[in-house]
Amino acid sequence: MDATQVDFYSRLAHAIAVQFGSNCEVVIHDLETTDPGRSIVAIENGHVTGRTVGAGPSHVVLEAVKAGRLHKLDDRLAYLTKTDDGRILRSSTVFIRDEDGTPNGILGINYDITLISAAADTLSALTGIGPNDDPTGDPEPIVKNVADLLDDLIEQSVALVGKPAALMNKEERVRAISYLNDTGAFLITKSGPKVCKYFGISKYTLYSYLDEAKSSDES
């Protein structure tokens, strides 16, 4: 993102935050940054997720950086996320695009609905009725830094395989490593050594697994 875009979307973020109050976090990510671990260039009401300018990306942002110019990226509206202390947020992700239509930034809105949800549950218990909103799946976690994000992605890769890393055979480890590569985990600084340690493999084995995963994707 160029300076003009950053300035405009920073002012837009401020306007949205003032309009909707202190429970509404608005964050701007720069997808063209050379350091994906510091993608946030502007944020309002950062106390909602505990993030500040210079903090790292969410899952959605990391996937967008990984996708680059190769994939069509669609906005995501009104999905559920959660903070590390368990608060539930209603989130929207809107891609900012350059003159060619290529995503170069993200406008993210995270509205803390924890108290609203609690009130709705109370009303439901008292009246026997409740909101019709029935979100599918668990809320996506919002992490404060890239170390937490990498830990979360590793846990997801293990859950995908369905057994602890120590019990995985080669094919299962390749599957887990492939998932980490697809989700952009290896864009995170020093992710390789941590992944190697977790799965009990050398860096040369990691490169071999990545090659196998890429070959499988291409076949």
Residue range 40-53, pLDDT digits in tens = 999 999 999 999 99
Question: Do 79 and 178 belong to one domain?
Answer: no
Q: Are residues 17 and 94 in the same domain?
A: yes
Question: CA torsion 19→25→30→34, rounded to 10°?
Answer: 160
131 shares its domain with 159: no
User: Does residue 128 have a pLDDT over 90?
Assistant: no
111 and 170, same domain (yes or no): no
The pLDDT score that the predictor gives to residue 63 is 74
- Which 3 state secondary structure label does DSSP give 179? helix
- Does residue 169 register a pLDDT over 70? yes
pLDDT average, residue stretch 142-153: 80
pLDDT at 31 over 80: yes
DSSP 8-class letter at 187: G
**Measured between alpha carbons, how far is 137 from 81 in angstroms, rounded to an integer?**
10
**Domain of residue 202, residue span:** 145-218
| Local confidence band at 123 (pLDDT 50, 70, 90 cut-offs) | low
Give yes or no: residues 151 and 63 share one domain: no
Are 171 and 199 members of one domain? yes
Give the separation between CA 52 and CA 44, rounded to whole angstroms. Answer: 9
Query: Quick check: pTM over 0.75?
Result: no
Residues 33 and 130 both lie in one domain: yes
Structure confidence at residue 124 (pLDDT):
67
Query: Could you tell me if 34 and 97 lie in one domain?
Result: yes
Please state the rounded mean pLDDT for residues 176-188.
89
Please tell me whether residues 112 and 207 are part of one structural domain: no
Pick the more confident residue, 149 or 15.
15
Mean pLDDT of 146-172: 88
- Same domain as 61, residue 41: yes
Q: Could you tell me if 109 and 153 lie in one domain?
A: no
Q: Which of the listed residues 110, 136, 162 is the one where a domain comes to its end?
A: 136
Q: Is the pLDDT of residue 177 over 60?
A: yes
How many domains does the chain contain in total?
2
Supply the mean pLDDT for the chain: 84
Position 114 scores a pLDDT of: 87
Residue 70, pLDDT above cutoff 50: no
Give residue-wise pLDDT tens across range 109-121.
999 998 887 776 6
